[in-house]
Amino acid sequence: MQVNVTFRHIESTEALKAHAREKVEHIQRYLDHASDAHVVLYVENLDHHADITLKAGPYLLRGRARSEDMYASIDAAADKIEKQLKKHKEKLKNHKAPAAPVEPVAISHEVFDAEKHPSDRIVKSVSFQAKPMSLDEAVMQLDLLDSHFFVFQSAKDRTINVVYRRDDGNLGLIKAQAS
């Protein structure tokens, strides 16, 4: 598995690289198909941040942590991924692929700035492939990414859906239908 370590606003040291690689290698023992990992280490104000993103087959795993010590941040981010994997290990093993091969759909996500004119409001744009999956798989992916929302293509009816975490802690589902 390839592990890329990126430093932002902090001096690159071999000791931090080795510690990050060691933690990612430790996580890898829980995965069957880990292909690559990206670790971003940075300092913001006085906090040391560690973001670990791990690609494992069709899944992305993400752990983020911050503390006053970079080593503690790396440990905490790796622990978050490890806890997620332990929690979902049975679901990953029991997952059955759809019977017919299904092509993912391209999705574009844009962030707008309400202060600007309509044509100048886009401040960020992201494109990705919405992979066909069941609602249970999408909820699992939402938890694994530790995200607020997840866009996916329904394996059942091929519609684009969004599963999201509500402010009250529950989950919501948005189903897109053609007009």
Tens digit of pLDDT for each residue in 24-33? 888 887 776 6
Same domain for 26 and 72? yes
22 domain-assigned: yes
Q: How many domains does the chain have?
A: 2
Mark whether 130 and 169 lie in a shared domain: yes
pLDDT at 105: 60
**pLDDT of res. 34:** 63
Residue 99 counted as domain residue: no
Based on the domain organization, do 137 and 157 belong to the same domain? yes
Nearest one of 86, 83, 78 to 24, comparing CA atoms: 78
Same domain, residue pair 87 and 150: no
126 and 146, same domain (yes or no): yes
Question: Which residues of the chain fall below pLDDT 50?
Answer: 100
Longest alpha-carbon distance in the chain:
56
Domain identity same for 41 and 109: no
- Record the pTM: 0.57
Name the domain boundary from 94, 127, 152: 94
Boundary of a domain, candidates 38, 69, 94: 94
Strand extents, DSSP E, 73-168: 105-112, 122-130, 132-133, 149-154, 160-165
Strands 47-56 and 59-67: antiparallel
pLDDT at 112: 52
Question: If DSSP codes are grouped into helix, strand and coil, which group holds residue 161?
Answer: strand
The 10s digit of each residue's pLDDT in 80-100 is 988 887 777 666 566 555 554
Q: Where among 94, 113, 137 does a domain terminate?
A: 94
Do 57 and 114 belong to one domain? no
- The whole-number pLDDT of residue 147 equals 80
Q: Is position 9 within any domain?
A: yes
Q: Residue 20's domain is classified under what CATH number?
A: 3.30.160.100
Give the domain extent around 109. Answer: 105-175
Any residues with CB less than 8 A from the CB of 150 and at least 6 apart, and which?
A: 138, 141, 142, 162, 163, 164
